[in-house]
Structures are given as structure tokens and as C-alpha cells.
């Protein structure tokens, strides 16, 4: 099995304030993981553990301040809804703009427009400015555009379920299909059920450190055994 991304003792620091001499804050301190082709990895950990930061490192948006990262020649995309949407543009133009930001070519998006129109169920509203849309309509459009992106590695921060009950089910199904067609996935989720259903592996991180990486059931079991998070972490450092 080929390795797509390998992280070795990664650390990422942010500046806390814009003032001169402001301190650095290490969002990730020491995380290691290996992502093989076809893996579906669920990232778990408490709030502020560094899960979203980790996704942005894998996506290549953040470069680590220490540690080593190696990546094979594979495209990688962090899935965000309504990326770059502008209120005065029509649904169609926003779909194109968002698609371009996701790294698709103009031709590729133009080809996807009928599918986006159909999936989003926007009808004639597709050519109206999205400032006239309801929140539900904007998120339906956002989801439909995001679904057109087909990277080698799909990064998802929280399960994207949007719209009313009916659309939620439809989008959930589409996402499920997308993740089970051999795509490599890294997923941040708070509910165990989703991770059990979708993932092949799980990574547990706490306070910016990777605690455990392995089979989903083992990691989830250990995670829930760990009732005193802070104490446990100090033992491990």
C-alpha cells in the first residue's frame, strides 16, 4: 500500500497577537501519522486538541514549524462549504468562482454546472444573486459545488450535513458514496457513530500531541477509557 502523506513529530505555532514580541502558541506540538492510499482516518480529540490545524497541515495550507512532512504526488483538498462565495454574484457565478478556488479548471466546472444545478434543486434561482437566497439554499449550493471536487485525498472538518431533513439525507448519501469509492479520507468528527461507520483507522490527538493511532474500535475504546484527560496527558508527555 502506497503512502500518500507521512507526518513525523509535526509542530505548528501561531502568533497569538499582532503586537511586537507577542508569544507563539503551539497548536500542534508533536503529531505523527501515516496516511496510506485508500485509508479513511477519523481524527478524534477534545476541543482545542488541534484537529482542524492538523487537517490544514495535511492540506498543505499550513507548513509545520518543526518536524518532517513527506507527501507523494497526490492532490489534496480541504472541503469547505461556500468557499469564497460573494453575495452579489449569481448562484452560477459563485459555483464557478468556488470551483476555481477549489483548484478545478474553468472547463471542468463548466461541465459540472448542470450537475450542480440539479443537485442543489435551485431551479431558476441559480441565475439570481445569492443575496436573495435563504440560508438553506446557500448551503445546498455550497454542498453541491463541494461535491464536484475529486481530490486524491479528501479532508473533511466535521460532517457536512446541510439543509432540510430531505436534503440532509440526500447530501449524506452523496458524501457517503464519495468516501467509499476508494478515496483517501481524513475526517474530523465529534460523533463516534460517524467514525465507526466511515473510517478504517482513527487518530486520537490531545493538546497537540498524537496519543494513539490504529483501528477504529481500539482507539475509540482507549479514548473513552481516558476519563481524566489532563492527568492522562501529563503521564504521556
Partner 1 sequence: MRLHMLELIFFSTYAELHAERSRSYLGFAWWLIDPAMQMGVYYFVFAVALKSTAPDFLPFLLIGLTVWQWFKSSVTHGGLAIWQSLPLIRQVKLSASVFPSVQILADTTKFAFIFSLLLVVLWCTGYPPNATYLALLPVLLIELIFASAVAYLVAAVVPLIPDLRFVIEQILTVSMFMSGVVFSLQDVPAPWRTVLSANPMTELIEAVRNILIHAQWPDWIALGRVALISMLLFAAALLLIQRLTPRYVKLAS
User: Does position 103 bind partner 1 by CB under 8 A?
Assistant: yes
Cβ nearer to partner 1, comparing 154 with 216? 154
Smallest separation, CB 114 to partner 1 (Å): 19
User: Out of 13, 159, 194, 222, which residue is the one contacting partner 1 (CB under 8 A)?
Assistant: 13
Cβ nearer to partner 1, comparing 93 with 121? 93
Smallest separation, CB 63 to partner 1 (Å): 5
Q: Which among 208, 171, 203 is positioned nearest to 189, based on CA atoms?
A: 203
Sign of the Cα torsion 169, 171, 177, 183 reads: negative
**Joined grid coordinates for residue 16:** 497569538
User: Out of 8, 46, 84, 222, which residue is the one contacting partner 1 (CB under 8 A)?
Assistant: 84
User: Does position 113 bind partner 1 by CB under 8 A?
Assistant: no
Q: Using CB under 8 A, which of the segments 33-41, 99-107, 175-183, 186-194 binds partner 1?
A: 99-107
Residue 163 near residue 143, CB atoms below 8 Å:
yes
Q: Are strands 24-36 and 3-15 parallel, antiparallel or unpaired?
A: antiparallel
The CA-atom distances, in angstroms, between 185 and each of 55, 129, 209, 222 are: 11, 33, 20, 22
Three-state DSSP at 144 gives helix
User: Does position 132 bind partner 1 by CB under 8 A?
Assistant: no
Report how far residue 161's alpha carbon sits from residue 165's, in angstroms, rounded to the nearest whole number.
Answer: 9
Q: Which among 4, 118, 121 is positioned nearest to 72, based on CA atoms?
A: 4
Cβ nearer to partner 1, comparing 84 with 172? 84
Q: Which residues bind partner 1 (CB under 8 A)?
A: 12-18, 22, 56, 59-63, 78, 80, 83-84, 86, 88-89, 93, 96-97, 100-103, 105-106, 129
Amino acid at each position: 500500500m502506497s503512502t500518500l502523506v507521512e507526518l513525523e513529530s509535526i509542530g505548528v505555532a501561531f502568533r497569538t497577537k499582532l503586537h511586537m514580541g507577542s508569544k507563539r502558541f503551539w497548536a500542534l506540538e508533536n503529531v505523527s501519522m501515516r496516511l496510506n492510499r485508500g485509508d479513511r482516518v477519523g481524527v478524534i480529540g477534545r476541543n482545542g486538541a488541534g484537529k482542524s490545524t492538523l487537517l490544514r497541515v495535511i492540506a498543505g495550507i499550513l507548513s509545520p514549524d518543526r518536524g518532517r512532512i513527506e507527501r507523494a504526488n497526490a492532490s489534496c483538498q480541504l472541503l469547505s462549504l461556500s468557499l469564497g462565495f460573494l453575495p452579489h454574484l449569481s448562484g452560477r457565478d459563485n459555483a464557478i468562482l468556488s470551483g476555481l478556488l477549489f483548484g478545478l479548471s474553468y472547463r471542468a466546472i463548466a461541465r459540472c454546472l448542470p450537475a450542480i444545478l440539479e443537485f442543489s434543486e435551485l431551479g431558476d434561482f441559480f441565475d439570481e444573486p445569492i443575496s436573495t437566497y435563504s440560508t438553506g439554499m446557500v448551503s445546498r449550493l455550497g454542498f453541491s459545488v463541494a461535491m464536484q471536487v475529486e481530490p486524491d485525498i479528501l479532508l473533511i472538518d466535521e460532517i457536512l450535513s446541510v439543509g432540510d431533513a430531505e436534503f440532509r439525507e440526500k447530501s449524506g448519501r452523496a458524501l457517503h458514496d464519495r468516501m467509499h469509492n476508494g478515496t483517501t479520507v481524513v475526517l474530523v468528527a465529534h460523533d463516534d457513530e460517524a467514525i465507526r461507520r466511515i473510517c478504517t483507522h482513527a487518530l486520537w490527538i490531545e493538546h497537540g500531541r498524537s496519543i494513539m493511532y490504529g483501528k477504529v474500535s481500539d482507539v475509540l475504546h482507549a479514548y473513552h477509557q481516558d476519563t481524566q484527560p489532563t492527568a492522562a496527558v501529563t503521564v504521556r508527555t
